[in-house]
Every structure is written in C-alpha cells, then in structure tokens.
Structure 1
Amino acid sequence: MQRLKLDEFQLSQSYLFIWDKLEKANYYLEQSIIHADKPLDDRLVLHLAGAPLNDGGQWDMACNLLEKYGVVPQTVYPESFSSSASSTLNQLLTTEVREHALKLRRQSAKLTASGLSHEEKVKSLRATKEELMASVWTTITTALGVPPRPDEKFVWEYYDKNGKFGKFEGTPKEFLATYTSKATDAFSLIHDPRNETNKLYTVAELGNIWGMRDVLYVNTEIERLKNAVVTCIKAGVPVFFGCDVGKCSDRTTGIMDPALHDLKSAFPLSLGLTKAERLQTNESAMTHAMVISAVHLDETGKPVRYRVENSWGADVGDKGWFVMTDAWFEEFVYQVVVPNRLAPKDLLEIFQGGDAVVLPAWDPMGALA
C-alpha cells in the first residue's frame, strides 16, 4: 500500500482458498491410493477421512500455495458466498472425495487381484484419480468461479490516494514476486512441553500440496517464542502465531487471559492441568491462527500483553482487535513464525538441518490452525 500509495487494498482470499481446496482434495486421494490396502477401520485411514478439506492450515501449507500459485488483488478474483460461508461447500467436497476414495480402494483391490505390479497399479490408480479430480474441479468452480491460472496474465487497474491511475499486467506469480517478500524465508517455532526441545519435528501425512514443503516445527522453550516475537515487532514485522483461541478468551470484548473468569469460586474445580497434560488428553490444540502486531513491555523489557489482529471481522473485539496477556501466551500459544533473518542462529540451524522427528498423524501438533 505504501509503495503504490493506496488508501485501501486487499489480496484475494478466494484465490488461495480455491487452490487450497483443490490441492487438499488431491492430497487426500493420493493418500487413499497409498493406503488402499489398509482396512477401512485402520486408525490412520479413519483419521485421514475425518476432515480432509477443512479450512484450516499451517504456515508451511500457506508457503506451498504462495510458491505454486502466487496471489492476486481481491478485485481480480472477489469474494463469493461460498468462500465467505464455506461450510456447505466443505460438506459437499468432503462427501465427494470420500466417495472418490472408496472408488480408488475398490479399483486397487481389483488391480491387486489381477496380479499387476505395484508400479502398474499406482499408475492406473493415478489415472483414475485425475478423472475424479476433474469432477472436484467442476464442483469447486461452480461454487466459486474459475480463478486466474498461476501463469495466466491478468490486468489490475487502480487509482492511488492522489487520484493517479496505475496498472499492473502480469501473472499471479509475478504479482507475488513484484510486491511481496519471500514467505518461504521463515519457519515455525513451537512450544510443545511433551517433547524434547531444540529438535525439529514434523507430523506424518500432514500437508496440502503433494510433493511440496513438509510442515516443520522447531520445538523450544516458551521464553524463546516470546523473545522471537519481541525481536520481530521491534523490527517492524508482524508475527503469525497458532493458539487455542477458545480457552479463556472472550470474542465480544476481545480479551484473552487465564484470569478472565473466576470459575473456581463457582465450581468445585481444580483446573490444574499443565500445558503438556492438556495436549496429552486432547484438552487443547492449535485451533486458530492470528497475527501479533504489537507488544507492551514492562520496565525490564518483559512482555506484559500483546495486540492481536483476528480474522473474524469488525464485529468482535475492538473492531477485530484483541488483547492477549502474557499469561495467556504462556498457556495457549503453541507456535510463532519467525523470518530466517530475525531468528536465533541455533534454532535456524536446527530448522535447516533436516532429520525431523515424525509425530503420528493424529498428534495435536497436526491440528490445522
């Protein structure tokens, strides 16, 4: 906005939304091919079928979408009913891909019985998958409209705040390269007290674009997450973070604080679960992602509270803004994303070193924020 002197500007959320749906459908059908020989009541098969196309995601998934598809202004591919209220479309697509997965499983059983080699069987199943994906594409574009292709040129015309006319002509990938920094030059720090710190972690079967970047986390102490946030804010960089937004928070006032409600005075509750125990018992997980845009420090430089930008619209909080206390950060923040250039060198080396510990597909760290 500063570069083009614009009063208002939004990227198209629908543009990345439609490609994310398409890629997640393909990802699930690829998983269905790989695991076609497992029984339907296998824990992994059931887990993968549980919510294959929901709206959530992780930082690395966003990086995949940006790298493959770029971005466009909202006026080029505007919002629609199904992108703003996605539940019905999600239900339709989920039903469709589950049915497609069963078709692939039945075909796989027939091909196995015919004596085909593994390579020939997978080739045949992927050919069928492409036919099934054509049906998914029709469903998605009927609801959302056909988006620009990532290498297809579009024209965006605008007037700046001084009334001067401007125009961009190029592809979505060129628009991303022209006006933004490289999103992939950042990575996730997490605080998962169940697991060893200073190690790289990933989650089995977690992703959105087949064959692209895995979801990776560097686990470290909560104080290092806070320090990373402070470093970023001082450098003028807002911070993407993943948290359990439903705990001890009020959407009307926009306050996020463990002391928000005095439940112990009203109920015979101990409420003594630790952060690790909440993860171990499915009491907590990353359920939402937001952005930290400011932090209030005390006289010693320690965080007191954080200014948070939510994505639920202007009717919640203070016109969409929330206040998160440092105590809430400690208990319910699990992830912050840090640019490589601002990250502690030892944690960056862990991220770049590979050899991630693989958590099971159903692990809480696999939740989509």
Structure 2
Amino acid sequence: YGVVPQSIFPESYSSSYSNKMDKLITKRLREFSLALRALVSGLQEQLQDARVLAAARKQKEIYLAEIYRILCITLGVPPKPTDQFTFEYYDADGKFDSYCGTPLEFYKKYGNEKYSLSDSFSLVNDPRNSYETLFTVDKLNNVWGGRPVLYVNTSSEELKKAVVTSIKAGHPVFFGCDVGQFSHSALGIMDTALYEYESAFNIKVTLTKAQRLQTGESSMTHAMVITAVHLDKEGKPVRYRVENSWGLVGDKGYFVMSDNWFDEFVYQVVIPRKLAKPEHVKILDAGSPRLYAPWDPMGTLA
C-alpha cells in the first residue's frame, strides 16, 4: 500500500479516539456475519455449493463497501498507492527541501531501507507455556494467503534485552500490552505501584502473569511504540518512553512505563531479524509452530 508523511494524510478525531468507531464496525460486522449465515442456509437446499458460495461472496462485497464507507467518513479517504503527492519540509540541518512521488515510492525510499517489515518478527512472553518455542494462533492472520503470524515465546527479560538493543540501534519498538492495568491516561503513567490496594483495603493482589492469562484477567489489548529507554548505571532498564495513539493524553501523547509494569503486562515486541538473538532467529526459521486456539489471549492483538 505504501506510506505517506502524516501531513499528507493527517489524524482525524476517530484515528486518535477510535473506541466509538471500533464499536460501530464490530456491531455491523456481527450483523453481517449472521446475515451471511442465514443467506447460505436458505440457499443450500436450492442451489449447488458453487452458486451458494458465489451469492455469499457477492453479498460480502456489498457489506465490505459499507465498512469502507464508514472508515472513510471517520478516518478520511486514504491516498491511493499510486497517487502523486508533494511533501515540503525542512531537514535536520534546517534546509528547505521537497519530495514528489507516490506512497509506494516513498516507502521504498525512506521506509523499507531503514525498517523492513518483512524482516521483522515477534517475541512474546507467555509464561503459561514453554520458553524458546514457536507458536501461532489459529485464524489470527487477517490477510488471505499472507505470511502466517508466528511468535517466538521467551522470557520477559529477553524481550527487554531486545527492546534495549533496538532502541540503541535507532529503531523504535512496536509492542503489545494490557494497557488498562495499573495505568493512568491523564498522567501518562503505567506502573504497578500506581494504585496502593494494600494500603486502602488491607488486601494483596497475588495473581501471577500466567494466572492472569489463564483466568481471562489479562490479555493483549493495545499496541504502542517504545521510543526510548532509561538505563541505570549497570545498564538495566528502569523505565521506558512510550508513544501512544490516543491524541494528546499523557505528556503530549507520550507515556512513561516502569520496568516492573513491562514484566507484568507487556506480552509482545517486534524486532528486526538483524538485531535479534541468533537463537531466536533459529527458532523462527525452524518452523513447525504449536497451534493455539482462536480464542487464546495471545491472539487478541496481531
């Protein structure tokens, strides 16, 4: 599809505050799924399977057109991959410059050379299952015929090492977490010490990360980007700077995430192969992933 500078396709209200848009789309998709099942059920006794499938696919296109229309109204009509645009800017030295090209050309020139998406993969921390193993989630991939979503399961410590390595190399890190746990949006803080339940109620919350996953208390609910890390004198991470997508909440859109919060509520990080541990790349390339059920909490993001 390509990419463009933000000024060419700027944020809308719904791109920064997507909750209502998400709920509307989900509601319509559920309605459409029931309607398609009813259509297929009603035609199966009258038509051959091939004609039933053709009728269902024709109706699906009508439904997808409505979803596209909703997204265009809420997010804006996206630029086409081959549309020409002109981007005027000042470079790092303060010199004026401009770029003219298409979204695909822009990605090939500026995006892919620095951060190749096809050469990146996910490390996850799922303490319910064995570390240094490969798994996938049934029906997680949303692109028919696309590259399967594969996860290398390892310890939280290994995820943090990968983050530090990537940040030092100048690569921001996409990560998946349970954002609603021990977090304060207005303050932009994610820290396990944020709320003192023990002082207020004389109780101690003792669920482990594995137990939270087992009981449905926690799962991956949101993706953000780690853009910086604060290290102590021994080189260990203390806290992380996180860029969110919720408008200006927090500190102008940025949050601070403590190292303890990372251990408890971060589940996934995406890193380039060239910066990953050779052992993890070897696990990825070996294939034969274990298959998780579609409803597994590891399958709630991407």
Q: If the length of structure 2 is used for normalisation, what is the TM-score?
A: 0.87
Residue 146 of structure 2 is aligned with which of 189, 212, 216?
212
Residue 213 of structure 2 is aligned with which of 259, 279, 288?
279
Residue 298 of structure 1 is aligned with which of 232, 235, 245?
232
* Match of residue 356 from structure 1: 289
Residues 159 and 166 in structure 1, CA contact (< 8 A), matched pair in contact too: yes
* Match of residue 184 from structure 2: 250
More displaced 10-residue stretch of structure 1: 215-224 or 321-330 = 321-330
Cα offset, 1:229, TM superposition? 1.6
1:178 is aligned to 2:109: yes
1:154 is aligned to 2:154: no
Percent identity of equivalent pairs: 51
Q: Deviations over 1:304-329 (max 9, x none)?
A: 3223233333341x333333222222
Q: Which amino acid aligns with 1:157?
A: F
Residue 54 of structure 2 is aligned with which of 123, 128, 147?
123
* Match of residue 101 from structure 1: 33
Residue 136 of structure 1 is aligned with which of 67, 78, 86?
67
Q: Deviations over 1:189-224 (max 9, x none)?
A: 011000111111222222333332332211011221
Alignment root-mean-square deviation, CA: 2.4
Q: Which amino acid aligns with 1:347?
A: H
Residues 148 and 154 in structure 1, CA contact (< 8 A), matched pair in contact too: no
Cα offset, 1:163, TM superposition? 5.9
Residues 73 and 156 in structure 1, CA contact (< 8 A), matched pair in contact too: no
Q: Which amino acid aligns with 2:278?
A: K
Q: Secondary structure at the match of 1:138?
A: helix
Residues 227 and 243 in structure 2, CA contact (< 8 A), matched pair in contact too: yes
Residues of 2 paired with 1:252 and 1:201: CA distance? 36
Residues of 2 paired with 1:352 and 1:100: CA distance? 38
Gaps of 5+ in 2: none
* Match of residue 197 from structure 1: 131
Q: Which amino acid aligns with 1:93?
A: I
Q: Deviations over 1:314-345 (max 9, x none)?
A: 341x3333332222221111111111001011
Residues 5 and 87 in structure 2, CA contact (< 8 A), matched pair in contact too: no
* Match of residue 60 from structure 1: none
Structure-2 change in CA distance of 1:102 and 1:218 (3 Å): same
Residues of 2 paired with 1:81 and 1:255: CA distance? 23
Q: If the length of structure 1 is used for normalisation, what is the TM-score?
A: 0.73
